[in-house]
Every structure is written in structure tokens, then in C-alpha cells.
């Protein structure tokens, strides 16, 4: 298995501790384009696409493997192994990749130095008193829309994620629409219907939680929940609307990363 080709790995050289970037649902590695220039020549930076996303090899897709987030965590671990990132790795993860990175850290704790979690949410479904952001019926409707009107689904989700930031909305819509519908639906089901709250206390790696102040997909209460249940964590609420600070306000994410990398 050629993991480099399967996950379309990009390896940017640098002397410092390695940064591994993990994109969210419906996205791809290019979403980090405003973050990586800040670290060129300072840190090795590795980017990849999950199977079914971006420029990954579609022939490697397996509905059985990728219907659970553990399948995507295996992608992340196999990328680490293929690139030799098995020590002192700092993972910068967005949205569902935050849960994926936590699963990977539980499985291989010795590989990871820190997790930087941008807009994490271990359970998108409301389960009172826990508020995940969505009623299950709303997510079922969204998945049905994906199946019957793929472009319509992108027009619904992209504005919610971008929260008024027009360049981000356009980028997300283009990314959503360019993803194979079957593979996207599989990832969507794994993303929105997984409940990883029981895994959170098992994460042995220090975590920085970067929560958006106004985020329909991950309320601030989710960040507070994670901070309360992760064994080692720091919570920072960014004054940002939407779910993609690394795209809409990259300077804030870079500044937060600098705090982690300087320690």
C-alpha cells in the first residue's frame, strides 16, 4: 500500500518539531494554505487528505472502513508511519479531525507531543444537558438532502460553517461539491452521528482547545465540556464567527500555535 499516494501526502521540510495537519469533513489539505507559510523553514509540516477527500486515491475507499471515525484515525496513524512521524508530533486538527486525532493519540500516545484542536466537537447531536449543536432529526434531514440534492446540501451547510465569511463559504462550497457523493455521505454519517465523549477522558496528550465564540456547529459549551473532561487541556475561545478560524482568521490560529510551539 502506497500511503503517500493514497492520502496525497505533502511534506514540507523544516528543522523543528513536526506539524501534522488534519482537515475536517468535506475539506482537504489546501484549507491550511494560510497557516503553513508561517512555519516554512521552522518546522517540518505534513499535510494529507483522508481517503474520499481532496486528491486522495478514490480506489482506496472502503465503505466498511470509513463508516467509523476509527477508519480515519487509521489513515492518520498510517500517514505518521509512512512519513516517520512517530515522536514529538504536534497535530493541528479541525472539526471532526479533532476527535480523529484524539482516537489516534489514545492508540499511539508515544507518537504525539500536543494536539491543537480547532473547533472540536466529540458529539454533534444534542443529548441534554449536553448541547452538541444539532437535533438528530436535523442531521437526518441534512443527510437525506445529500442523497437527493447534492448541490442543495452544499448550499445549506457551507453558509452555516462560514457564518457570513464569503471567501470561506465559496471555498467550502467548491470543496463540498467536488467530493464524490457516496464517499462524502459515508464521512458525513461518521462525522455527525459519532459520539466520542467516552473517549475524551482517555486522551493522554496535552490539548489546546480553540473554540469559536459564535459557531453553529460547535457551541462554546462544547469547548467547556472538553476542557472539563480532557486530562490535560487548555481552552481558548477565539472571537470568531463560524467554524473555520484557520481559514477566516488564520493569524489567531498561528498565534495560538506559537504559544504551544514555544513551550
Catalytic residues: 95, 215, 243
Query: How far is it, in rounded angstroms, from Cα 109 to Cα 129?
Result: 31
Alpha-carbon dihedral 9, 15, 18, 19, rounded to 10 degrees? -80
CB-CB contact of 116 with 208 (8 Å): yes
Q: Which helix (H) or strand (E) holds 43?
A: strand 43-47
Query: How far is it, in rounded angstroms, from Cα 237 to Cα 17?
Result: 25
DSSP alpha helix (H) spans, the chain: 3-6, 69-83, 96-107, 136-148, 150-162, 166-178, 181-193, 220-229, 245-248, 250-261
- For CA atoms 196, 30, 241, 205, give the dihedral sign: positive
Beta strand pairing call for 207-214 and 43-47: unpaired
Amino acid at each position: 500500500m502506497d500511503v503517500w499516494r493514497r492520502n496525497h501526502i505533502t511534506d514540507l521540510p523544516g528543522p523543528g518539531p513536526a506539524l501534522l495537519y488534519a482537515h475536517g469533513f468535506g475539506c482537504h489539505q489546501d484549507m491550511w494554505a494560510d497557516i503553513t507559510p508561517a512555519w516554512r523553514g521552522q518546522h517540518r509540516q505534513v499535510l494529507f487528505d483522508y481517503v474520499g477527500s481532496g486528491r486522495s486515491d478514490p480506489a482506496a475507499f472502503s465503505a466498511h472502513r470509513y463508516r467509523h471515525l476509527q477508519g480515519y484515525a487509521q489513515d492518520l496513524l498510517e500517514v505518521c508511519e509512512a512519513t516517520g512521524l512517530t515522536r514529538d508530533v504536534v497535530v493541528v486538527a479541525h472539526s471532526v479531525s479533532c476527535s480523529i486525532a484524539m482516537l489516534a493519540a489514545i492508540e499511539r500516545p508515544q507518537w504525539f507531543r500536543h494536539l491543537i484542536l480547532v473547533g472540536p466537537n466529540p458529539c454533534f447531536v444534542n443529548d441534554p444537558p449536553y448541547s452538541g449543536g444539532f437535533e438528530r432529526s436535523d442531521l437526518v434531514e441534512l443527510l437525506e438532502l445529500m442523497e437527493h440534492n447534492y448541490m442543495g446540501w452544499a448550499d445549506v451547510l457551507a453558509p452555516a460553517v462560514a457564518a457570513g465569511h464569503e471567501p470561506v463559504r465559496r471555498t467550502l462550497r467548491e470543496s463540498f461539491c467536488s467530493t464524490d457523493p457516496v464517499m462524502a455521505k459515508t464521512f458525513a454519517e461518521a462525522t455527525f452521528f459519532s459520539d466520542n465523549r467516552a473517549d475524551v477522558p482517555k486522551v493522554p496528550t496535552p490539548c489546546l482547545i480553540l473554540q469559536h465564540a459564535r459557531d453553529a456547529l460547535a457551541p462554546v459549551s462544547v469547548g467547556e465540556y472538553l476542557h472539563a473532561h480532557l486530562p490535560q487541556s487548555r481552552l481558548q475561545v477565539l472571537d470568531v464567527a463560524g467554524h473555520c478560524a484557520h481559514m477566516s482568521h488564520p493569524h489567531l490560529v498561528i498565534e495560538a500555535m506559537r504559544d504551544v510551539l514555544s513551550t
